[in-house]
Chain A
Amino acid sequence: MANVFSNAFSSLGEWVNERAPGLMPVYRKHMTEYYAPKNFNLWYYFGSLALLVLVNQIVTGIFLTMNYDPSASGAFDSVQYIMRDVEWGWLIRYMHTTGASLFFVVVYLHMFRGLMYGSYQKPRELVWLLGMLIFLVLMAEAFMGYVLPWGNMSFWGAKVIVSLFGTIPVIGKDLVEWIMGDYLPADATLNRFFALHVIALPLVLLLLVVLHLAALHEVGSNNPDGVDVKHGPKGNRWDPTKPADGIPFHPYYTVKDLVGVGLFLAIAAFIIFFQPTFGGWFLEHDNSVPANNLVTPAQIKPVWYFTAFYAIVRMIPSALGTAVWGVLGMFGAIVLLFLMPWIDGGKVKSIRYRGTGYKVALGLFVLAFFGLVLIGTDSTAELIPMLFGAGVDVTSLENLFGRVMVLIYFGFFVFLWLYTHLGWEKTKPVPERVTTHD
């Protein structure tokens, strides 16, 4: 019996192979004969986890569209309908909302890994740029998804984010009306955000992910030592011409990634079943109130993953009669990340062998990011009276703290440029091969 099946299977394989002889070489190039450095650590889980979350978002998203009504009059009720009346609708929606937050958790960790081990440096600039584009599209995707339930936070979030474009001189006001299709977020806005969220941006995202991986597999993966295994000794047990310090992605790293997937799914399941709103961090309480164009919620702030950039807008005051500076600051904070391969002129990739200045600067950069998150989530507004007494001027203390954090955030890039281009960095010797070779 088994013989019948395996015969049928192999003749099917031959049949396909005769008609599409290019398939197997592609599979080998990206899986069984993609030799990745053998010293990947914990930080290398987050790329595959991001892919897992993307699949989760697409699958749960498809099922949500089956019951969601993208109209200003019906959207809020249809989300409640999914939550209460649709069989297992609550689970599918919570998988989607929790997935959105966890997407940013893994993407931020993935990006930090890149900063730590110099994965953006030559020859991986294109991998980094494509990754940053994914991050940018992901932010647009998350924002538009956030608007769809048409709660009051959705409405005002849409208003504020679209108004960011209104600060552009001359064309700003018309641009805002063009994006919204009305004079304030309305039916037209919700409809087009729905179209972009479920069709346009996911297509772009998938294409970018394919390009990101293709670009990576062309140059090969970096690793915690920042040593290029392609330039090391040749010959491993699978192929005498391939890097000695490389192992096939499949099965070695697919199996390793499965361990990460198991752990990650356990954490995700815990959140989905026990803490789906995560104390208001993943799903905000004010969004359980239908959209109201006359009342701004008392506590308006974006979901946590945007708060660092939102805090930059808040900390930069207007000048010369325009509020564009805060917006420029926010976009600048992202543009500078794009430019990392050229800002960092260092020749050593991994933080293990870089100068003390880089380690301190990266630490401060992470600190500034978390500081801005605290401001953006309004945590500082609660913490400052607790630390300094109830009578203090919260706003000026918060502004002082926040502006220092903004300076550190941008200071990181300025320092890094000076540090590496003026030759101030004293690096340690980089080993010839990855340190864990046998």
Chain B
Amino acid sequence: MANEVVDQGRRRFLTTTTAVVGGVGVVAAAVPFIKSWEPSAKAKAAGAPVTQSLKKIEPGQQLIVAWRSLPVFIVNRSPAQLAALPKQDGRLVDPGSDGASADQQPKYAQNATRSIKPEWLVMIGICTHLGCVPDYVGEMKAEPFDPNWQGGYYCPCHHSRYDMAGRVYQGVPAPKNMAIPPYHFVDDATVQIGVDAEGNA
């Protein structure tokens, strides 16, 4: 044995294959640890549709309900707030919700008011920047962040601003309009959030 010439090719082959097989083993062993960080079965199971009566929401008022632990804004928009919407178009990033925000609402809410019924806004109250809950600033009066404020949302985290249809203004960190969840009206005064009229989630 001791006198044999070292076969360098054979040695290289063995070193490489050992390293490759070992490497594959390390990667395979890492998979369970990485997968263990994904949402658990328990977390995935929590998320049934939510039904909410609209009877006590006066014009101009907002109600927040939790759906999948997310805040959903339900707003009864006043005629004045609705009338101000088209006037904002020039100051918005995507007024028609057909550009960057095309995937931020179901088809039936991709319209001028971003809703099924013009007065009722149903929207996931999560800022599209980094996920804070924007404040509802519904009154149309001069605000420190906008002397010409026409009602809408103001995010306390990074000062992004949205109009009364959740459409984002230009020059703020948030890139997209706030998301509209799937929803439908069970009757005139009841909304169900989480499924649309055909029952699709």
* Chain B residues within 8 Å of A394, by CB: 144-145
| A166, B131: Cβ atoms closer than 8 Å | yes
Categorize the interface residue count of chain B: 35 or more
Which residues of A299-348 are within 8 A (CB) of B?
299-300, 313-314, 316-323, 326
B157 and A395 contacting across the interface, CB-CB below 8 Å: no
Supposing A159-B132, A299-B156 touch, asked if A183 and B173 sit within 8 A by C-beta, the answer is no
**Inter-chain contact A181/B39, CB cutoff 8 Å:** yes
Residues 264-307 of chain A: 1 if any B CB is under 8 Å from the residue's CB, otherwise 0? 00000000000000000000000000000111111110000000
Quick check: is A385 within 8 A (CB to CB) of the other chain? yes
A164 interface contact, C-beta 8 A: yes
B132 nearest CB neighbor, chain A only: A296
Contact assessment for A178 and B133 in the assembled complex, using a CB-CB cutoff below 8 Å: no
Given A293-B69, A318-B93, A394-B145: A182 touches B173 (CB 8 Å cut-off): no
Q: Which residues of B contact A318 (CB under 8 A)?
A: 93, 129, 172-175
- Give a binary string over A392-414; 1 marks a CB under 8 Å from any B CB, 0 the rest: 01110001000000000000000
Q: Say yes or no: is A192 at the interface (Cβ < 8 Å to chain B).
A: yes
A160 close to chain B: CB less than 8 A: yes
The reply on B99 being an interface residue by CB < 8 A is yes
Across the interface, B70 reaches (CB within 8 A) one of A181, A184, A297, A298, namely A184
Which of B68, B133, B176 has the largest number of chain A CB atoms within 10 A? B133
CB distance from A338 to the nearest CB of B (A): 24
B37 within 8 A of A: yes
Known contacts A321-B99, A322-B175; decide if A183 and B43 are in contact (CB<8 Å). Answer: yes
Residues of B contacting A192 in the complex (Cβ-Cβ under 8 angstroms): 37
The B19-39 residues at the A interface (CB cut-off 8 A) are: 34, 37-39
- Whether A179 sits at the interface, judged by CB under 8 Å, is yes
Q: Which of A167, A179, A298, A299 has the most CB of B within 10 A?
A: A167
B34 partner residues in chain A, CB cutoff 8 A: 178
Residue of chain B at shortest CB distance from A390? B144
Q: Is A430 an interface residue (CB 8 A)?
A: no
Total residue contacts A-B, CB cutoff 8 A = 118
Q: How far is the CB of A406 from chain B (nearest CB, A)?
A: 13
The answer to whether the Cβ of A56 comes within 8 Å of any Cβ in the partner chain is no
Contact A298 B156 (CB under 8 A): yes
Q: Which of chain B's residues has its CB closest to A179's CB?
A: B37
Q: Check A177 for interface membership: any CB of B closer than 8 A.
A: yes
A72 CB to closest chain B CB (Å) equals 11
Q: B92-128 toward A: CB 8 Å interface, digit per residue (1/0)?
A: 0110000111000000000000000000000000001
Q: Does B66 contact A (CB under 8 A)?
A: yes
Measured between beta carbons, the chain B residues less than 8 angstroms from A320 are: 100
A149-191: CB near B (< 8 Å → 1, else 0) gives 0000000100110011011000000000111111110101000
What is the CB-to-nearest-CB distance from B31 to chain A, in angstroms, rounded to a whole number?
13
Instruction: Check A181 against B37 for contact (C-beta < 8 Å).
Output: yes
> Residues of B contacting A300 with CB < 8 Å?
132, 156-157
Q: Does B147 contact A (CB under 8 A)?
A: yes
Contact of A297 among B101, B156, B158 (CB under 8 A): B156
Chain B contacts for A186, CB-based, 8 A = 43, 69
A156-B157, A192-B37, A297-B156 given; A316·B133 CB < 8 A:
no
Total residues of chain A contacting the partner, CB 8 A: 44
Chain B nearest CB, measured from A73 CB (Å)? 14
On whether the beta carbons of A323 and B132 are closer than 8 Å, the reply is: no
In the assembly, what is the distance between CA of A326 and CA of B146, in Å? 22
Q: In the assembled complex, which residues on chain B have CB atoms less than 8 Å from the CB atom of A156?
A: 132, 157
Residues on B with beta carbons closer than 8 Å to the beta carbon of A381? 144
Closest partner residue, chain A, to B47 (CB atom):
A183
Q: Which residues from A are CB-within-8-Å of B93?
A: 318
Closest Cβ–Cβ distance, residue A155 to chain B (whole Å) = 11
Would you call B130 an interface residue if the criterion is a C-beta within 8 Å of the partner chain's C-beta atoms? Answer: yes
Q: Shortest Cβ distance from A98 into chain B, in angstroms?
A: 26
For residue A166, which residues in chain B have a CB less than 8 angstroms away from its CB?
130-131
In this complex, the member of A294, A296, A317, A322 whose beta carbon has the largest number of chain B beta carbons within 10 angstroms is A296
Q: Which residues between 341 and 399 of chain A lie within 8 Å of chain B, taking CB atoms?
A: 381, 385, 391, 393-395, 399
B171 within 8 A of A: yes
B113 to A: closest C-beta gap in Å: 22
Q: B148 — nearest CB in chain A belongs to which residue? A: A393
| CB-CB under 8 A for A164 and B135, given A184-B69, A188-B43, A323-B175 | no
- A399 to B144 CA separation, bound complex (whole angstroms): 13
B38 and A160 contacting across the interface, CB-CB below 8 Å: no
Contact status A316-B173, CB under 8 Å: yes
- Choose from B68, B129, B144, B171 the contact partner of A323 (Cβ within 8 Å): B129
B145 surroundings in chain A (CB, below 8 A): 393-395
Q: Do A395 and B144 touch across chains, with their CB atoms under 8 A apart?
A: yes
Which listed residue (B94, B147, B156) contacts A296, Cβ 8 A? Answer: B156
Say yes or no: A314 contacts B175, CB within 8 Å: no
Shortest distance from the beta carbon of B153 to any chain A beta carbon, whole Å: 11
A-B contact pairs, 30 of them (CB 8 A): A156-B157, A159-B132, A160-B131, A163-B129, A164-B130, A180-B39, A182-B39, A183-B39, A183-B69, A186-B69, A188-B39, A188-B40, A293-B69, A293-B71, A295-B133, A296-B133, A296-B157, A297-B156, A300-B132, A300-B156, A300-B157, A313-B173, A314-B173, A317-B170, A317-B171, A326-B158, A385-B144, A393-B145, A394-B144, A395-B159
Top 10 closest pairs, chain A to chain B, by CB: A321-B100, A318-B175, A163-B130, A163-B131, A296-B133, A395-B145, A160-B130, A182-B43, A314-B158, A294-B71
A residues whose Cβ falls under 8 Å from a Cβ of B: 156, 159-160, 163-164, 166-167, 177-184, 186, 188, 192, 293-300, 313-314, 316-323, 326, 381, 385, 391, 393-395, 399
Starting from the known contacts A183-B68, A293-B69, 9 additional A-B residue pairs (CB-CB under 8 Å) come to: A163-B131, A183-B70, A186-B69, A294-B64, A296-B132, A314-B159, A317-B173, A323-B174, A395-B144
